[in-house]
Amino acid sequence: MNFNQLANEWDDARRIKRAATLSGVIMDELPEKKFQCGLEFGCGTGLISCNLQHRFEKLHCIDNADAMIDIVKQKIEQLCLSHCFAHCADLSQENIFFDKKIKFDCIFTSMALHHVVDTDGIISRFYSLLDDDGLLVIIDLDSEDGTFHQSEVGFEGHNGFDRLALEQILYKNNFKQICFKTAYTGGKMIEGREVSYSLFICIAKK
C-alpha cells in the first residue's frame, strides 16, 4: 500500500466516520485528565489526533508517509492547533524523540501496528518513549485470514493480531495492566464482496 499516493483521497466518508467512532472508544478508556504530552504513531492524515487533540497539552503526530504528514500540517494550520506537531519519520528506524529526550504520558495508534513487520521492536520503542505509568493505547485488526489486505500489492505486515499473542509481547516488554476489548466491527468491500472484520482496543501501562 502506497500511503503517499493515497493521501489526497484518504479522508473519505467511511474513514471519517470510523475515526470518529474509534476516537470515542479511546476517550472512553482514557482517564479523565488532560495529558501533558501525547504521541500518535502512524497518524495518517490525523483523523484520530484531530478528534483527541483537546485531551493533550502537546500532541505529536508521526507517520512515515510525507504526503500524509503534509495534510496533517495543513489541518494543524487551518484549525489553529498550536499545541500539535507533525513529523515525517519512521520510528522503527530513527528516533527524533530520543535525541530530544522527549517522553510521553500517552502513546496511541490506530490501524498502524499491523503494517509494522517487527512488532516486538516497535512495542519496545513505545515502552522507552513513555513516562513511568504512561499509557499505550492500540487499536488494530483482530486476526483474519489475509483477505483484508489481499488486493494490496506488496503488503508485508500482519493479518491482524491474536490478542493473546500480542498480550505476551506487551508483557515481554514490561507493560502491565493490559486489557483488551472489542472496539469496532464493520465491513470492507474487497473484490466486489463485503468482508466482515473486527478491531480491538488494547490499553497497557508502563
pLDDT class for 86, splitting at 50, 70, 90? very high
| pLDDT in the model for residue 98 | 62
What is the chain's mean pLDDT, rounded? 91
Q: Mapped to the 3 state alphabet, what secondary structure does 37-92 carry?
A: EEEEECCCCCHHHHHHHHHEEEEEEEECCHHHHHHHHHHHHHCCCCCEEEEECCCC
Question: CA of 198: how far to CAs of 156, 160, 166, in Å?
Answer: 20, 9, 16
Burial class (CB in 10 A: 0-12, 13-18, 19+), 146: exposed
Cβ atoms of 46 and 109 closer than 8 Å: no
Give mean pLDDT, residues 84-110.
Answer: 84
pLDDT in tens, 58-67: 999 999 999 9
pLDDT for 90 beyond 90: no
Q: For cell 495543513, name the residue.
A: 74
pLDDT at 87 (0 to 100): 93
Give the pLDDT of residue 157.
Answer: 85
The interaxial angle of helices 163-172 and 119-129, nearest 10 deg, is 50
For residue 67, the model assigns a pLDDT of 93
Task: Using the predicted structure, report yes or no on whether residue 1 has a pLDDT greater than 60.
Answer: no
Instruction: Look up the CATH number of the domain holding residue 84.
Output: 3.40.50.150
Query: What is the structure's pLDDT at 99?
Result: 63
Instruction: Give the bridge partners for 161, in sequence order.
Output: 142
Q: Which residues, including other chains, have CB under 8 Å from residue 167's CB and lie 6 or more apart?
A: 178, 180, 202
Query: Which amino acid belongs to residue 61?
Result: C
Kindly report, residue by residue over 102-154, the tens digit of the pLDDT.
899 999 999 999 999 999 999 999 999 999 999 999 999 999 988 888 877 77
> And the C-alpha cell for 95?
528516533
Domain around 109: 3-205
Domain count, the chain: 1
Q: What is the pTM of this model?
A: 0.92
Q: Quick one: pLDDT at residue 6?
A: 62
Q: How far apart are the first and last CA of the chain?
A: 32
